[in-house]
């Protein structure tokens, strides 16, 4: 039994060694050019801020670097079991590129990512590549006595150095093979640990400070409180609509039916009129219940997804509305889908009621792990996020999912409201 246990452990360690080598090689090949690209683009973009060009490009470059950093965090947890928290501040509520860039540059996470890229280029590359070297380099040494030494030693007397062993003939090739065997034993024992060093280095560079984590907790607490308040308000609205609408009609219908029961023999004509009135009340109550259910979660949203639900919403508007949808690859999670739908519904309602718009455009797009929705109208403008406004409610709804809202609405229009929600398609 002990022999079988040791054999199982050895096989598991061998598989771990090969897996660490393969993953390390993939990390080294993939991370080096991406880290160099991200670092160089960041420096160039920030250097161009004084002349205005950088203010336009920096938000996109920072967004790309953050997406790359999040990807590396995910790999660290999946391949190395190393959890690396992130604490990026929400993007500012404006589409003004200068204000957006200024806010991003004030975020310590932006500079921490930049420093990580600088360290990742040499140190991250070497720590990722080392397990592959430990595993694959010994294979060359073991292959030298089999005739590979003849390929390397073209000129007699000129040695090919394998590590610190000079290889000039088959006999010296066996010495290289012995060194390769020793290296393979070292790889068998330490390749996985060396692979882990790469992720620990990434964690050391990307982990936010305690102050940043505390700020992140504060923001999450506020968004959770807003979500609870929104839910409570929604429940009160549903209860009010039921009490004042369908419930009142059903009560009246019951009273009419009681009167019909008494009049059916004495005054059939009056009883028929009351039955017709009860039938009308039942139809109106059913319509109100359908509207209430549609307000809670529209059937088209559950059955056909966000794109078709927004198209159906646009068809009911009195203003010409164009909807463009690019959500290829699946659907977003149901809670995010519901929040996005009601946010769009609120924005469209605001545009119809307050903007005086003659045309509305809605664009839904998913990319880089984010759902991006823009609602644009050609109305009078002047929309702003403020206490008591519909936009403030939309912002609270999106905040539950770490979403952000940006508004551009100069006097005279047009108005463009953009929403971004982190999510994946399934």
Tens of pLDDT, residues 223-272: 666 655 555 565 666 666 666 666 666 777 777 777 777 776 777 777 77
Report DSSP state, residue 92: P
Neighbour count for residue 328 (Cβ, 10 Å): 8
In tens, the pLDDT along 93-133 reads 556 778 888 888 888 889 999 999 999 999 999 988 888 88
Kindly state the percentage of the chain with pLDDT values over 70: 79
Selection from 110-124, 221-235, 321-335, 390-404 with the highest mean pLDDT: 110-124
Best CA proximity match to 287, nearest among 245, 248, 236, 341? 245
**What mean pLDDT is reported for the chain?**
79
d(CA 238, CA 119): 55
Burial of 137 (0-12, 13-18, 19+ CB in 10 A): middle
Quick one: average pLDDT of 191-205?
87
33-37, 339-343, 363-367, 396-400: the lowest-pLDDT one: 396-400
Answer left, alpha or beta for residue 32, where phi above 0 means left and psi between -120 and 50 means alpha: alpha
Tokens of 263: 């009049």
Answer yes or no: is pLDDT of 195 > 90: no
Distance, CA of 361 to CA of 377 (rounded, Å): 6
Determine the average pLDDT of the residues in 306-319: 86
Nearest to 358 by CA among 383, 378, 374: 378
pLDDT band at 39 (very low <50, low <70, confident <90, very high): very high
Close Cβ partners of 2 (under 8 Å, ≥ 6 residues apart) = none
* Residue among 78, 77, 72 at smallest CA distance from 28: 72
Segment 362-391 mean pLDDT: 80
- Rounded to whole angstroms, the Cα distance separating 127 from 82 reads 15
Q: How much of the chain exceeds pLDDT 90, in percent?
A: 9
**What pLDDT, on a 0 to 100 scale, did the predictor assign at position 1?**
42
As a 3-state breakdown, the chain gives helix, strand, coil percent values, each rounded to 5, of 70, 10, 20
Task: Please tell me which residue, 211 or 375, carries the higher pLDDT value.
Answer: 375
Work out whether strand 404-408 and strand 320-326 pair parallel, antiparallel, or are unpaired: unpaired
Alpha carbon 348 to its chain centroid, in Å, reads: 25
Whether the predicted pLDDT of 175 surpasses 80: yes
Would you state the pLDDT for residue 36? 94
Residue-level pLDDT at 6: 44
The pLDDT of residue 7 is above 60: no
Token pair listed for 174: 């066996």
| pLDDT in the model for residue 44 | 93
Q: Domain 304-422 adopts which CATH fold?
A: Heat Shock Protein 90 (3.30.565)
Q: How far apart are CA 384 and CA 391, in angstroms?
A: 7
Q: Which residues contact 156 (CB under 8 A, 6 or more apart)?
A: 168
Q: Evaluate if residue 82 carries a pLDDT over 60.
A: yes
Question: How confident is the model at residue 8, as a pLDDT?
Answer: 47
| Chain centre to alpha carbon of residue 422 | 3
Read off the pLDDT of each residue in 365-375 and give the average, rounded to a whole number.
Answer: 84
Comparison of pLDDT for 306 and 273, the residue scoring more: 306
Which of the pair, 294 or 181, is modelled with greater confidence? Answer: 181
pLDDT beyond 90 at 352:
no
Lowest mean per-residue pLDDT among 46-55, 119-128, 152-161: 152-161
pLDDT for the residue 225: 62
Residue 141 or 45, more confident: 45
Band of residue 137 on the pLDDT scale cut at 50, 70, 90: confident
Q: What per-residue confidence (pLDDT) applies to 210?
A: 67
Query: Does residue 207 register a pLDDT over 80?
Result: yes
HSE toward the beta carbon, residue 321, CA cutoff 13 A: 23
Pairwise CA distance, residues 81 & 380, whole Å: 54
Contact call for residues 160 and 153 (beta carbons, < 8 A): yes
What pLDDT sits at residue 65?
Answer: 92
Least confident of 4-8, 151-155, 347-351: 4-8
Structure tokens at 134: 């430990």
Give the chain's length.
426
The SS3 call for residue 91 is coil
- Helix (H) / strand (E) element for 161: namely strand 160-162
Is 219 a residue whose pLDDT tops 70? no
- Is the Cβ–Cβ distance between 405 and 371 less than 8 Å? no
Checking if the pLDDT of 4 tops 50, the result is: no
CA–CA separation, 392 and 380 (whole Å):
20
Q: Name the maximum alpha-carbon separation found in the chain.
A: 128
Cis peptide, bond prior to residue 414, ω within 30 of zero: yes
Structure tokens at 147: 């005739």
SS3 letters for 266-306?
HCHHHHHHHHHHHHHHHHHHHHHHHHHHHHHCCHHHHHHCH
* Contact between residue 24 and residue 199 where contact means Cβ atoms under 8 Å apart: no
The residue ranges of every structural domain in the chain are 2-208, 221-296, 304-422
């Amino acid at each position: 039994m002990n022999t079988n246990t040791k054999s199982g452990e050895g096989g598991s360690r061998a598989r771990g060694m090969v897996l660490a080598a393969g993953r390390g090689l993939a990390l080294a090949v993939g991370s080096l050019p991406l880290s160099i690209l991200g670092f160089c683009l960041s420096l160039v973009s920030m250097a161009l801020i004084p002349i205005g060009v950088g203010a336009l490009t920096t938000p996109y470059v920072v967004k790309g670097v953050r997406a790359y950093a999040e990807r590396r965090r995910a790999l660290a947890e999946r391949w190395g079991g190393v959890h690396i928290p992130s604490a990026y501040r929400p993007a500012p509520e404006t589409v003004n590129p200068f204000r957006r860039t200024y806010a991003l540059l004030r975020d310590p996470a932006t500079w921490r990512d930049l420093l990580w890229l600088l360290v990742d280029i040499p140190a991250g590359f070497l720590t990722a590549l080392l397990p592959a070297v430990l595993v694959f380099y010994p294979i060359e040494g073991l292959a030298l006595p089999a005739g590979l030494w003849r390929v390397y030693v073209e000129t007699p007397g000129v040695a090919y150095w394998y590590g610190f062993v000079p290889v000039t003939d088959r006999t010296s090739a066996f010495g290289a093979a012995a060194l390769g065997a020793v290296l393979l034993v070292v790889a068998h024992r330490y390749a996985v640990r060396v692979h882990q060093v790469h992720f620990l280095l990434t964690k050391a560079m990307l982990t936010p400070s305690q102050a940043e984590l505390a700020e992140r907790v504060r923001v999450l607490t506020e968004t959770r409180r807003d979500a609870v308040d929104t839910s409570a308000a929604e429940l009160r609205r549903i209860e009010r609509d039921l009490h004042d609408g369908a419930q009142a009609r059903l009560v009246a219908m019951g009273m009419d039916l009681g009167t019909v029961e008494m009049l059916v023999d004495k005054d059939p004509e009056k009883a028929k009129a009351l039955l017709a009135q009860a039938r009308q009340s039942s139809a109106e109550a059913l319509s109100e219940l359908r509207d209430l259910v549609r307000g809670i979660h529209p059937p088209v949203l559950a059955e056909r997804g966000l794109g078709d639900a927004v198209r159906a919403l646009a068809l009911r508007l009195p203003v010409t509305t164009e909807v463009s949808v690019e959500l290829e690859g699946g659907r977003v999670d149901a809670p995010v889908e519901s929040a996005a739908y009601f946010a769009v519904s609120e924005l469209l309602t605001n545009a119809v009621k307050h903007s005086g718009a003659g045309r509305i455009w809605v664009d839904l797009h998913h990319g880089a792990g984010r759902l991006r929705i823009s609602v644009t109208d050609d109305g009078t403008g002047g929309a702003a996020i403020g206490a008591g406004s519909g936009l403030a409610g939309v912002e609270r709804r999106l905040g539950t999912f770490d979403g952000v809202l940006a508004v551009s609405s100069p006097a005279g229009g047009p108005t463009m409201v953009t929403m971004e929600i982190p999510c994946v398609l399934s």
